[in-house]
C-alpha cells in the first residue's frame, strides 16, 4: 500500500490538489452568494423564509441526480461540479447564518436600533459579531460536506479524489480504493480541525470566554 | 419657547389587533420636565415612548419634537438625537464598557480624543470609576451597574430628550431606590426632558414632576403628583391611589 503511494504519488497528489482546488473554489463562491442572500434576508423576513425553504428543497435532491440534471445545461466538467456544490452549500450556510443572526437577543437589537444604527450597522456591528459561533459552524459544515460531495463530482469528469475512488471501484484496485478514501476522509477531518483552530485564533476574546 | 414633545391626536393600532394601542392622544411636554408614565402592562405606555423615537410610526396624528414633525426628519437622525434606555439594558456583550458608552459617538465618527474624554465624563456621571470599568465587559457587571452603563450610553451625545422604558424594572429594590435618587439628580443637573415609563406607582410619583396615568390606550390623567392624589380624574386613577395607600397601611401595621 505504501509502495503504491510512492509509485503513484504524483497521480495521487494531483488528484488531491484537484480536489482541494474544487472545494476551495466552490466554498469561495458559496460564501459570496450566501453572504449576499443573508444580507437580503436581513431586510425581509419573508425573503429569509422563502430562501431557506427553497434551498432546503434543492438540498434534498440526491447529488448524483443533480449532477446528471445539469449535464445538458453545463456539460461535463468542473463548472457543473462547482455549480452543484455552491447550490448545496446555500442551505447549510443560509440556515446557520440566518438562525445565528435571528438568535441575537431582541433587547440588544432594539437598543442598537433605538440608538440610531441603520439596519446595515445593526447587522455588521452587533448581529454578525454576536453570531460568530453559528456562522463558523455553518462554514465548517459546508466545508466538510463539500469535500464529501466533491468526490461524487468525479462522475461528471470534475477530477479530484473521487476519480481515484471510482477508478478503484471499477477495476477492483484495492490500493486506489484505500488511498482515495483515506485521502478524502483525511482532508475532511484535517480541514475541519484547521477551521476550528482558525476560529479560535480569529475570535480573540470570544463572548463565551467572558461568561 | 417651543414644547419639547407634542402629540396631536395620535393613534396607533397594531396589525391584526382589534383595539387601539394608543387612542387619539394629545399632550404637550415642556423642555426640562421629568414626566413619568404610569399604567399597567398593555396600557400603551411603551408604545407611546416608541412613537417618539420612531421605533413605531403612528397611524394617525402628528408628533413634534421642538416644533419639528418627526415624520419629516430622517428616522436615523431622530433616534440619534434622543437617548433611549430599556429595561433589559441591551448592552452589547462583545464590546467593552467604554465601547458600549461610545456607541453613538463612534457612529458619528467623533475624534478618538473627544470620545475618550466623553466616556470618562459619562462614567463618572453615573457613578462608575472610569479606570476600573472601562475595559470590562457587560457580563462582569451587576444588574445595577449595567443599567448605569445603559444610562451613560444613552446620554453620550447629550440628547435633549431621554426616553426611559422601565429602566429599573429588573433591579432589586435597594439598588433601585439609590438609582432613582441619582437619576433625579442627573436630571436636575442636565436640564433635559425625561420621559420615564414605569408600572410602579411610588416610582412614578417620586420621580415625576408630572405623572401621566394611562389606561387602555388613553391618558386618564396628566398632572403633578399632588394634584392627582388630591383630585383623581376617574375610577382607574382612584383605584391606583387607593392601592398605594393600602400598601402604606400594610407597612404601618409593623410599626
Would you say residue A209 has pLDDT above 60?
Answer: no
In-domain check, residue A208: no
Instruction: Give the chain A residue whose CA is nearest to the CA of B75.
Output: A116
Mutate to test the interface with B, among A114, A119, A203 (most CBs of B within 10 A): A114
Q: How do residues B156-205 score in pLDDT, each as one tens digit?
A: 999 999 999 999 988 898 999 999 999 999 998 878 999 999 999 999 99
Start-to-end CA distance of chain A, whole Å, equals 50
Please tell me if residue B107 touches chain A, with a CB cutoff of 8 Å: yes
Please tell me if residue B116 touches chain A, with a CB cutoff of 8 Å: no
Tell me, what's the pLDDT at A203?
66
- Integer Rg of chain B from CA: 19
Distance between CA atoms of B134 and B120, rounded to whole angstroms? 8
Report the phi/psi class of residue B35: left, alpha or beta, with left for phi > 0 and alpha for psi in -120 to 50: beta
Residue A126 to residue B140, Cβ atoms within 8 A: no
Q: How do residues A9-40 score in pLDDT, each as one tens digit?
A: 888 899 999 999 999 999 999 999 999 999 99
CATH number at residue A190: 1.10.3720.10
Would you say residue A204 has pLDDT above 60?
Answer: no
Residues of A in contact with B76 (CB under 8 A): 116-118
Distance between CA atoms of A131 and A125, rounded to whole angstroms? 11
In-domain check, residue A39: yes
- Looking at every residue in chain B, the average pLDDT score rounds to 93
In-domain check, residue A209: no
Distance between CA atoms of A86 and B102, rounded to whole angstroms? 40
Q: Which of B80, B88, B139 sits opposite A211 (nearest CB)?
A: B139
Q: How do residues A57-72 score in pLDDT, each as one tens digit?
A: 999 999 889 988 888 9
Please tell me if residue B93 touches chain A, with a CB cutoff of 8 Å: yes
Residues of B in contact with A115 (CB under 8 A): 79-80, 84, 103-104, 107, 153-154
Percent of chain A predicted with pLDDT > 70: 96
- Count of domains observed in chain A: 1
Domain extent at residue A51? 10-201
Which alpha helices (H) appear in B81-221, and where do they start and end? Answer: 97-101, 103-107, 112-125, 130-133, 143-155, 173-190, 201-207
Q: How do residues A112-144 score in pLDDT, each as one tens digit?
A: 999 999 999 999 999 999 998 899 999 999 999
Closest CA relative to residue B43, chosen from B204, B216, B202, B190: B216
Note the pTM of the prediction, 2 decimals: 0.84
Q: What is the ipTM of this complex?
A: 0.88
Q: Which three cell numbers stand for residue A195?
A: 477551521
Residue A105 to residue B94, Cβ atoms within 8 A: no
Instruction: Give the chain B residue whose CA is nearest to the CA of A107.
Output: B90
Residue B79 to residue A114, Cβ atoms within 8 A: yes
Backbone angles phi, psi at B27, to 5 degrees: -160, 155
In-domain check, residue A3: no
Estimate the crossing angle of helix A161-171 against helix A132-152, to 10 degrees.
40
Estimate the crossing angle of helix A45-59 against helix A78-102, to 10 degrees.
140
Q: What is the CATH number of domain B1-81+161-168+190-230?
A: 3.40.50.300
Tell me, what's the pLDDT at B164?
96
Mutate to test the interface with B, among A109, A111, A128 (most CBs of B within 10 A): A111
Q: Which of A109, A113, A115 sits opposite B104 (nearest CB)?
A: A115
Residue A118 to residue B140, Cβ atoms within 8 A: no
**What strand order describes the sheet that includes B82-86?**
B82-86, B161-165, B193-198, B34-38, B210-215, B218-223
Residue B93 to residue A111, Cβ atoms within 8 A: no
Tell me, what's the pLDDT at B244?
87
Amino acid at each position: 500500500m505504501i509502495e503504491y503511494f510512492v509509485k503513484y504519488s504524483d497521480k495521487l497528489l494531483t488528484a488531491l490538489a484537484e480536489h482541494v482546488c474544487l472545494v476551495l473554489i466552490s466554498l469561495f463562491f458559496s460564501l459570496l452568494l450566501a453572504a449576499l442572500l443573508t444580507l437580503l434576508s436581513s431586510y425581509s423576513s419573508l425573503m429569509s423564509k422563502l430562501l431557506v425553504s427553497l434551498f432546503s428543497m434543492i438540498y434534498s435532491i440526491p447529488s448524483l441526480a443533480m449532477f446528471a440534471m445539469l449535464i445538458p445545461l453545463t456539460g461535463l466538467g468542473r463548472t457543473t461540479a462547482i455549480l452543484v456544490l455552491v447550490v448545496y452549500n446555500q442551505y447549510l450556510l443560509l440556515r446557520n447564518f440566518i438562525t445565528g443572526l435571528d438568535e441575537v437577543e431582541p433587547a440588544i437589537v432594539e437598543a442598537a436600533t433605538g440608538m440610531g444604527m441603520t439596519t446595515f450597522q445593526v447587522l455588521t456591528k452587533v448581529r454578525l459579531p454576536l453570531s460568530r459561533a453559528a456562522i463558523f459552524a455553518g462554514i465548517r459544515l459546508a466545508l466538510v460536506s463539500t469535500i464529501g460531495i466533491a468526490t461524487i463530482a468525479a462522475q461528471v469528469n470534475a477530477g479530484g479524489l473521487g476519480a481515484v475512488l471510482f477508478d478503484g471501484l471499477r477495476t477492483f484496485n484495492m490500493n486506489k480504493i484505500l488511498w482515495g478514501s483515506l485521502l478524502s476522509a483525511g482532508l475532511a477531518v484535517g480541514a475541519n480541525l484547521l477551521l476550528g483552530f482558525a476560529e479560535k485564533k480569529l475570535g480573540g476574546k470570544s463572548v463565551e470566554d467572558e461568561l | 419657547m417651543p414644547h419639547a414633545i407634542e402629540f396631536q391626536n395620535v393613534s396607533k393600532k397594531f396589525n391584526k389587533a382589534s383595539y387601539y394601542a394608543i387612542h387619539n392622544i394629545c399632550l404637550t411636554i415642556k423642555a426640562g420636565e421629568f414626566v413619568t408614565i404610569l399604567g399597567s402592562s398593555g396600557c400603551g405606555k411603551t408604545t407611546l415612548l416608541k412613537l417618539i423615537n420612531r421605533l413605531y410610526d403612528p397611524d394617525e396624528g402628528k408628533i413634534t419634537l421642538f416644533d419639528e414633525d418627526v415624520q419629516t426628519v430622517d428616522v436615523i437622525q431622530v433616534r440619534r438625537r434622543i437617548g433611549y434606555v430599556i429595561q433589559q439594558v441591551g448592552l452589547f456583550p462583545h464590546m467593552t464598557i467604554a465601547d458600549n458608552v461610545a456607541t453613538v459617538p463612534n457612529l458619528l465618527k467623533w475624534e478618538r480624543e473627544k470620545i475618550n474624554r466623553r466616556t470618562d465624563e459619562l462614567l463618572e456621571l453615573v457613578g462608575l470609576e472610569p479606570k476600573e470599568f472601562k475595559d470590562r465587559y457587560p457580563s462582569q457587571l451587576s444588574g445595577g451597574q449595567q443599567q448605569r452603563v445603559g444610562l451613560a450610553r444613552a446620554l453620550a451625545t447629550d440628547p435633549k430628550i431621554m426616553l426611559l422604558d422601565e429602566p429599573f424594572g429588573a433591579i432589586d429594590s435597594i439598588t433601585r431606590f439609590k438609582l432613582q435618587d441619582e437619576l433625579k439628580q442627573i436630571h436636575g443637573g442636565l436640564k433635559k426632558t425625561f420621559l420615564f415609563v414605569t408600572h410602579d406607582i411610588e416610582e412614578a410619583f417620586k420621580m415625576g414632576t408630572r405623572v401621566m396615568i394611562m389606561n387602555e390606550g388613553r391618558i386618564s390623567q396628566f398632572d403633578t403628583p399632588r394634584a392627582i392624589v388630591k383630585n383623581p380624574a376617574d375610577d382607574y386613577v382612584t383605584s391606583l391611589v387607593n392601592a398605594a395607600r393600602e400598601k402604606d397601611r400594610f407597612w404601618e401595621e409593623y410599626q
